[in-house]
Amino acid sequence: MVRMRDGDYNEHSDIDIMILTDLKDKELSECESKIWDLAYDIESNNDFSIDLSPKIRNIETFNYWLQALPFYMNVQKEGVILSEPQSVK
């Protein structure tokens, strides 16, 4: 069982994974399906009982909407950083 800090876990819950990037919208849409496929592979290969729900967003867009969208506010407030920014060569 997974427990959420705010007590909103239920049988239909998922794990949201926010991926913030500096990619532009066109580039995001090109890689989005690959990331969804990876999430599915991780779920199916590890018998997860909870769905992984990746959300890929441009950092500028995230910052623009941060004070308006509750999900973004929750990411900032309760999110756990899994990896710091890396440059791709």
Query: Which pLDDT tens digit goes with each residue over 30-74?
Result: 889 899 999 889 888 887 778 888 999 999 999 999 999 999 999
More confident residue, 59 or 5: 59
Buried-state track 39-77, b at ≥16 Cβ within 10 A, e below 16? beeebeeeeeeeebebebbbeeebeeeeeeeeebeebee
**Res 68: pLDDT:** 96
State pTM to two decimals: 0.70
For residues 9-18, give the mean pLDDT.
76
> Tell me, what amino acid is at 27?
E
Q: Which residue has the higher pLDDT, 47 or 22?
A: 22
